[in-house]
Structures are given as C-alpha cells and as structure tokens.
Amino acid sequence: MINNKSRKTGIVVTIAVILALSAAVASSADGFAPGSEQDPIVTQSYVEQKLEQIKYYIDSLITKANENSALQGQEIAKLKAELELKKQEIAKLTETINSISATASGRFEVVEMQKNQMLIAGEGAEIIPRSGRFSAIYGANGGLSDVTSAKDLKDNEAIVNNHMLIASREDGRGMKALADRSFLIIKGIYTLK
C-alpha cells in the first residue's frame, strides 16, 4: 500500500510540474497583451469605429480645402473689383492731366465725342465746336457763353459750329454730342462723361 505521505508528495510534485509547464508556455508567448499592435486581435466594431474616424478626418480636410478655395475666390473677385476702380481712377487722372497740360501749354486740344457723350467744362475753358452736332448743358449758375453770337446758351439749345464758347464757371455747364464723331477743339480743363 502506498502510504498517505507518498500520495501527498505525488500531488505536490504533479502540481509543481503543471506550474512549471505553465510558466514555460507563458514565457514563450513573449508577454504581448491581446489586441495590442504585436498581437492584433480586433472586432468588427473596432474596425468600423476606426473607419468612421478616418472618414471624419478626410471630410474635415475636404471642407477646409473648399472653404479656403471659396475664400480665395472671394479675395480674387475683390482684388479684380479694386483693380477696375483703380483703372477708372487712372483714366480720369489721365484725362485731367491732358486737360491741365493743354491749359498749361495754352494750345487748343482736339476732342472727338460720340453720340450722347457729354463734355463738362472747367472754369475759363474755351471751346470751338468744329463738326457734328451739339446741344448746350446748363450749369447751376448759367450756361456757356457764345462769344461769337454775344449770348448765353440755354439748356438743350443747339450750338453753332465754329463759334467761340467760354465757360465762366465750373458748375456743370458744358455740351452734349448729338451725332457720332462730333469734333471740337478746347483749351482748358474739361471732363468727358
């Protein structure tokens, strides 16, 4: 008969062998945690969650790119509008410079006007209509003085070609072309509209 003491020793040895084998198996698994990058066990919900995060990130990049594109488009439109205003200012300044240089030189300048175009004379401007048809524009304090006829021109009154006209004030008085390619000569400051 096996005695009770031997039996207890056998059980203890068996348990010790099982524990030693378990320790060996555990150490051979390199100690990686399940689901880590070294041991990638994942569920479908985990993959779907990561895909949603990536989709959200890509959508936010697209939205940001579209917003930047829209802002750039608005900036370009704003710059184009400013450029157009500057071109108009340059055209007006060029016209003024031409008028001033004509005045400074004391020479008459040839001006071609198209139908319905208006010439607003500056103070002291001298005008001689040469060809085409013109009507007078009355200013706040009166009209052009037709020196040749010795009279002031009324609003919309026909102007006779080759008459000397003088603007005594800069108050909106001038002349309007009634025919295409109407020509006049002018000495002094003026504005075409």
Range in 18-22, 43-47, 84-88, 115-119 with the lowest mean pLDDT: 18-22
Judge if 115 and 172 occupy the same domain. yes
Q: What is the CATH number of the domain that holds 118?
A: 2.60.120
Judging by beta carbons within 10 Å of its beta carbon (0-12, 13-18, 19+), is residue 167 exposed, middle or buried?
Answer: buried
- pLDDT value at residue 100: 66
Q: How many CB atoms lie within 10 A of CB 36?
A: 9
Place of tokens 């006829």: 149
Is residue 23 assigned to a domain? no
User: Is 160 part of a structural domain of the chain?
Assistant: yes
Question: How many domains is the chain partitioned into structurally?
Answer: 2
pLDDT at 56 over 80: yes
The residue out of 105, 120, 155 marking a domain boundary is: 105
Is the residue at 25 inside a domain?
A: no
pLDDT value of residue 159: 96
Q: E strands, the chain, where? A: 109-113, 118-121, 126-131, 134-137, 145-146, 151-152, 158-159, 165-166, 174-177, 182-187, 190-192
Region 29-57: mean pLDDT is 69
Domain boundary among 105, 124, 152: 105
Q: What is the 3-state secondary structure (H, E, C) of 131-173?
A: ECCEEEECECCECCEECCCCEECCCCCEECCCCCEECCCCCCC
- What sign results for the dihedral spanned by CA atoms 131, 136, 139, 145? positive
> Does 96 share its domain with 112?
no
* Cα-to-chain-centroid distance, residue 92: 23
- Of 105, 134, 159, at which residue does a domain stop? 105
Q: What is the mean pLDDT of residues 144-163?
A: 94
96 and 116: one domain? no
Whether residue 188 sits in one domain with residue 119: yes
Which domain, by its residues, includes 64? 42-105
As a whole number of angstroms, the distance between CA 131 and CA 178 comes to 11
Band (107; pLDDT cuts 50, 70, 90):
confident
For residue 33, tell me if it sits in a domain. no
User: 87 with 121, same domain?
Assistant: no
Q: CB 41: neighbour CB atoms within 10 A?
A: 8
